[in-house]
Every structure is written in structure tokens, then in C-alpha cells.
Amino acid sequence: AQTVTQSQPEMSVQEAETVTLSCTYDTSESNYYLFWYKQPPSRQMILVIRQEAYKQQNATENRFSVNFQKAAKSFSLKISDSQLGDTAMYFCASVIIQGAQKLVFGQGTRLTINP
């Protein structure tokens, strides 16, 4: 069974600061992907970044980067130079690359960027 845990229900930082959101996961499978999704007040689900488990290099997308620690089953998201538009719920998720490929989501972290 897959589980994803986000232990920070809420976080708040000042604009332009760097913030790190934590995520741990558990799976017995070897072929899986990890994701961070952003859900702004509009409630759209927006893919922020994806990490393939077989890749050692941490994924980066502009101001967003991850720290993927496979042995520790940790997958944190770092947002650099935070902007007001980054205010949203952030969900960590995992998927096993076989069968139905169901996404399993964490509980979410509500991030507020203050001006």
C-alpha cells in the first residue's frame, strides 16, 4: 500500500523568502513517481514538479526544486524567491507505474505568502 504524509498543515512566509514543504511517503514498489501539485483558491489542480524514483538527480522547475531522499522516503519541495501567487494548498502525491496508476495524495499544506 502507498501512503503519503505531509506533517505541516499550514506555513506562512514573507514574499521573496525561501520556503520548504515536507513530504514523506511509503511504498514497497520500486517503480514510482512523486509529484507536487498546487491548488490555488480557484481549486484547479496544477502540477508543479515531478520526480521519477529511478532518477538520482533532483527535479527543478524554475523557482521550484525538490530534495528527493529515496532511502529516507522523503520528498520536500523548495520554493525560492516566493511570490504572492504562490499562495495555495500544496499536495504531495505518489503513483505506482503499473496497473491503474492511482495517485495517492498527502493531507496538504496551506502556504501563505505575505507581502
Partner 1 sequence: GAVVSQHPSWVICKSGTSVKIECRSLDFQATTMFWYRQFPKQSLMLMATSNEGSKATYEQGVEKDKFLINHASLTLSTLTVTSAHPEDSSFYICSAREPSLDQPQHFGDGTRLSIL
- Interface characters, 10-49, with partner 1 (x: CB under 8 A): -----------------------x-x------xxxx-x--
Amino acid at 43: R
- Taking the complex as a whole, how short is the minimal distance between the CB of residue 34 and partner 1, in angstroms? 11
Cα 10 to its chain centre, rounded Å, is: 14
Exactly one of 1, 71, 72, 100 binds partner 1 (CB under 8 A); that residue is 100
CA distance 87 to 112: 5
CA distance 36 to 19: 14
Exactly one of 11, 80, 103, 112 binds partner 1 (CB under 8 A); that residue is 103
The candidate with the shortest Cα–Cα distance to 109, out of 42, 13, 9, is: 9
Residues that bind partner 1 (CB under 8 A): 33, 35, 42-45, 47, 50, 52, 91, 95, 97, 100-108, 110
